[in-house]
Each structure stands twice: as C-alpha cells, then as structure tokens.
Amino acid sequence: MEDPTANPPLPPSPRPRQGARASTLTWAALLIALLALGGIIAVAWQTQARDEAVQQALGQKVADLDRQLSQSAALTRRLQTQVIEAQNRLEQFETQLADTQTQRIALEEMYRELSRAPDDWLLAEVEQTLNIAAQQLALAGNVKAAIGALQSADQRLARADKLQTAAMRRAINADLEKLKVLPWVDLSGMTVKLDALVQQIDTLPLASGPASIVAAPPANIRKAEDGWFSRLADDAWRELRELMRIRKVGADEAGLLTPNQTYFLKENLKLRLLGARMALLARDETHYREDLKLARAWVAKYFDTQAKPTAAALANLKVLQDSALNIAVPDINGSVNAVRAARSARETARGAR
C-alpha cells in the first residue's frame, strides 16, 4: 500500500521542439513590429516633405502678391502725380482759353474797324486762322486741324481778286506739304480702344477658370452581390474623390487664383490701362509703352488666350503698343509770316497815301 504522504512524481519536462517554435514566433512578431514601425516612419517623412513643399509654394504666392501690391502702390503714386500734372495743364489751357477769348474780342473790334476794307478783313481772318492752327500744333500736335486751317486759308485767298496772294499761297502750300507727309496719330481712336479694353477686363475668361478643371470619372455601378462593407467603401471613396479637382498646369502657366487674387488682378490691369490712357493724353510715350507691355504680359499669363475675347484684347494691346505717339511736328511760321508781311505792306501803303 502506497504512502499518501510520500512526494508526488515530478511532471515531465517540455520537449525542445516546443521551445524552438515559441522562439520563432517571437522573432516573427518582432520583425512584423519593426516593419510596421518603418512604414509609419516613411509615411511620416513623406507627409512632412509634402507639407514643406506646400509651405514653400504658399510662401512664393504670398511674396508674389506682396510684389504686386507694391507695384500697385507705386502705380497709384504715379497716377496721382500725373493727375496733378494734368490739372496744371488744364489750368494752362484755361489761361490760354482766356487769352483766346481776349483775342476774339480784339478780332471783333478789328472786324468793325475793317468793315470798309474787305481785303484787310480777309487778311486779318486768315492770320487769325493760321494763329489758331499754329497753337493747335504747338500745344496738342493736332496735325489734322492744322491741315484743315491751311486749306481753308488757301481757298479764301484763292477767291480774292484784288489781293496779290501768290507769295502767301506759296508759303501756305509749302507748309501743307510738310504736314501731309507726317504719319497719322489717331489719339481719339486710341483713347476709345483703351476705354473699351478697360470695360472688357471683367468679361475675359481666366486661364485658371472652370474650363481648365478636369471632371471626375463616373462612379462605378454597384453590383447586386456587393456586401454592405463594399458599398460603404465605395460611398466613402466617392465622397473623398469629390473633394479634389485635377487641373492641367504647364511649367510657365499661372496657378489657381483665389477670388480675392482675381479681383486684385483685374483691378491692377484696369489701373495699368488707365495709366496708359493718361500717358497717351500727356504724350508720355515711355510710360505709355511700359503700361501696355505689362498689361499684355498679365493678359497672356493669367487669362485664357484660346478664347476669342482674350485673343482680340491681346491684338488690340499689340496695335496700341506699336502705335507712335510723338512725332516731330513742323511749324507753320512761313504761312503766318507771309500773311503778316502782306498786312504790314498794305498798312504801310495806306499810311503813305
């Protein structure tokens, strides 16, 4: 009979094969953990690199906007200076207008004095016409008005029977030939084109507008055997895809513009065109060409050049930029001096009698 107080038998020791299998599982779990950690580190590094690239792009955009704002401020100051100069010119024109009115009053007195001498009256009228034409040439470079005045004076002298008009008509025709060979500068037409361009800016399509957005592909058709998890994944993917839009941008093209940036772009472009208009009226060819050159560059960069309105605007800007403003305008002193000499000769002959 066995003794119940005796020591129990020891359990059998584990086999070596089971210990090796546990060690292998431990190393496999450790390897999987290391691979997962490496994947997490790689994703974090890529995310950080992408964030840095986005920050650099945003910084560049902010710097460009600051530079454009600085240019706008400089343009505003220059426009203010031009407005002040235009006001000074207007005051000068008002003074000259007062002088012209004084001359008109004096001319009316002369008409009354020369009522008994039609030939003297004709010479005085021709001289006044030539003086006005000379003022138009000197102040505004109005070649067309000067040509009309010279032709009118020549026609009036041609109808004079008792006057010796050969010398005066030769001088007038010589001045007419000098004016007719000058290139034509249509300031009124150029001003109208600039005003039309200013009104057209708001209607030009942007290069970063809806036409450059690529539409998302249609959603996949669900199958009847798809499970609820598959349908949930499809819905989530479709919602996520709707948050993104793809736009084709070349290396030298402008990026997407916010509504605020679009507004300032169009306003700055209008200011450039208005500055060119002011320079046109002041005959400042340097600033005129500079403003139009920058306006053409902005339209070509930020607007859709394939659209017909944009192409027409670029063509008009090129024509305006290539137009000459300042031409060497000759004087008509030969005609004025010839008429004055004829009047002096008649006054001297009348005084001798």
The gap from C-alpha 120 to its chain's centroid, in whole angstroms, comes to 55
The dotted CATH code for 114-183+328-347 is 1.20.120
Cα 66-71-77 angle, rounded to 5 deg:
130
The gap from C-alpha 169 to its chain's centroid, in whole angstroms, comes to 48
Spatial neighbors of 299 by CB under 8 A, at least 6 apart, are: 204, 269, 305, 310, 313, 314, 317
According to the model, what pLDDT value does residue 9 have? 53
The Cα 143–Cα 327 span in angstroms is 10
Cα 22-27-28 angle, rounded to 5 deg:
95
According to the model, what pLDDT value does residue 352 have? 64
**Residue range(s) in the chain whose domain bears CATH number 1.20.120:** 114-183+328-347
The tens-digit pLDDT sequence of the chain (353 residues) is 444 444 555 555 545 556 677 788 888 888 888 888 888 888 888 888 888 888 888 888 888 888 888 888 888 888 888 889 888 888 888 888 888 888 888 887 776 665 556 777 788 888 888 888 888 777 766 777 788 888 888 888 888 766 778 888 888 888 888 888 776 666 778 888 899 999 999 888 888 655 444 444 444 555 555 566 677 777 777 777 666 555 555 545 555 677 888 888 899 999 999 998 888 877 778 888 899 999 999 998 888 888 898 999 999 999 888 877 766 667 788 888 888 888 888 778 766 66
The Cα 46–Cα 37 span in angstroms is 14
Residue with tokens 């009036």: 156
According to the model, what pLDDT value does residue 347 have? 76
According to the model, what pLDDT value does residue 4 have? 47
What single letter denotes the amino acid at residue 104? Answer: R
Of 89, 104, 130, 100, the closest CA to residue 331 belongs to 130
The Cα 53–Cα 314 span in angstroms is 35
The 10 Å CB-count burial string (b at 16+, else e) for 310-331 is beebbebbeebbebebeeebee
Task: Determine if the pTM surpasses 0.95.
Answer: no
Helical axes 16-113 vs 259-282, angle rounded to 10°:
30
